[in-house]
Amino acid sequence: MGSLKFLSLALLFFTTSQVHSNNTQRKEAVVYHDREDAKIRSSKRISKTIFRLYESTVEEHCRIALYQLETLEQCNFNTSLPLVMIIHGWSINGMLEGWISKMAAALKSNQRDFNVIIADWLSLAQQHYPIAVRNTRLVGQEIADFLEWLELSLQYSRSKVHLIGYSLGAHVSGFAGTYISGSTKIGRITGLDPAGPLFEGMSSTDRLSPDDAHFVDAIHTFTQQHLGLSVGIKQPVAHYDFYPNGGAYQPGCHFRHVYNHIAQYGITGITQTVKCAHERSVHLFIDSLLHDDKQSMAYWCNDIHTFDKGICLSCRKNRCNTLGFNIRQERPQRSKRLYLKTRAHMPFKVYHYQFKIHFINHIQEKQLEPTFTVSLIGTKEDAVNLPITPVEEISGNKTYSFLITLDTDIGDIMMIKFKWKGTDMWAHIWDTVQTIIPWTKVASYQGFIVKTIRVKAGETQQKMTFCAQNVENVPLLPAQEKIYVRCENRLGRQKKKFK
């Protein structure tokens, strides 16, 4: 595609969210006629959606023709196995993207047995974005027809069906769940960063929603508005809605990299930046299939700012769940927003810890944004010099909460080295003061006292309390480090001394 044509499509895509707010009444009329048009066109039994049964590669697929039973036999469709259908999104170049074969292969990995079908609707997706949006209803109807045909012809239960839709494909999945006849619902729908423009703020019947399947989950990875663009939908659309890293941007995909991408890829560098965060939802799901031993855990929370304080790491009453394929399929009464942190590359899992640190501020002068570091000594390995920066001024006698994430499993934490990150000059000044003034007089007026450090591990739900290894109530000074051990361990050693 020529760069000018691409630029026009990109600009059109950037402005579609504004079209949404200005044309609500006209869209409602169009939606009605789209639905009727979908029914009329599907009744002619001419499917524009191509159903490809995945074998070893996308190129080695076997096409199943709607209403032609012999093609099911020719393609070796196995009625005893569950069906997973992958549904792509909007297309610029009219080609199936590389992630599709990766996901199909991942679904077949680790001795899993599925019928994996790729719903190819490229002829309807390679259109101007608003037209592709209109076509999602038709494709949803054709997928519903396909599943009904399997049920009538082979007694294949729709409850064994899992639709995985990316971007516009997520809403295609929702429409399939809406249009399928009867009271029994499709087993599961997974929306991978469901498209935002022309869907954000719409009613549940005009987008993916929890009503579209027995269980619906969604992963939101690019909901931040930039230049009038919100590629992924921000509002909850599922039983469990996951917002990795807040759902706005993803590690390694920030817009500050757009200039580097333009320098490397030319005008298509814009899409590289958008694609990175938007498509991260896909790779998070693939990651859950490939790494059974590194499943990412997410936690219910009101928003990412609260989550960043580490106070949402509870698994009580279904407040946490596993992101991706292995999610616990429980249906809450209301949609739940779950948050988690990830790495910038696969495997994406990190380990979440809440640190609740009890500070007593004995500094007479105003202390602005001190920075601390902690080193964690674990039973498996150590994690050193992890930064902790308070979001507010430390004052008085108060407990502050922080979120710390680790890339590796360090086992049980046995010791914490806590340091006030200061300069050697500060340390020299304090040493001079201690020489001139007796320590006992300075101690009650200068520095921070760290009374206790309470730690909660999100993944294990283990709670630990750490106390100063030696002397309590001694202030922590700039560039100084103190060691904290499990309080019960320290008390045990003290008891032995007095025996």
* List 34, 120, 145, 193, catalytic entry: 193
Q: Annotation-wise, does 212 bind a ligand?
A: yes
* List 171, 278, 283, 352, catalytic entry: 278
Q: How many other CB atoms are found less than 10 A from the CB of residue 290?
A: 16
Environment class of 345 (CB within 10 Å of its CB; exposed 0-12, middle 13-18, buried 19+) = exposed
Q: Do the bridges between strand 215-219 and strand 240-244 make them parallel or antiparallel, or are there none, so unpaired?
A: parallel
Q: Annotation-wise, does 207 bind a ligand?
A: yes
297/196 Cα distance (integer angstroms): 25
Type and span of the H or E element at 382: strand 382-388
Q: How far is CA 372 from the centre of its chain?
A: 28
Active-site residue flag, 206? no
Q: Specify which residues 201 forms β-bridges with.
A: none
Residues 6+ apart with CB under 8 A from 374: 355, 386, 388, 404, 416, 417, 418, 419
Environment class of 113 (CB within 10 Å of its CB; exposed 0-12, middle 13-18, buried 19+) = exposed
Active-site residue flag, 278? yes
3-state class (DSSP) for residue 386: strand
Active-site residue flag, 193? yes
358/353 Cα distance (integer angstroms): 16
Can you read off the two tokens belonging to residue 157? 């239960």
* List 167, 209, 281, 296, catalytic entry: 167
User: Angle at CA 142, nearest 5°, toward 138 and 144?
Assistant: 115
Query: What is the amino acid identity at position 212?
Result: D
Binding residues: 207, 212
Give the residue numbers annotated as catalytic, written as ranges: 167, 193, 278
Binding residues for Ca(2+): 207, 212
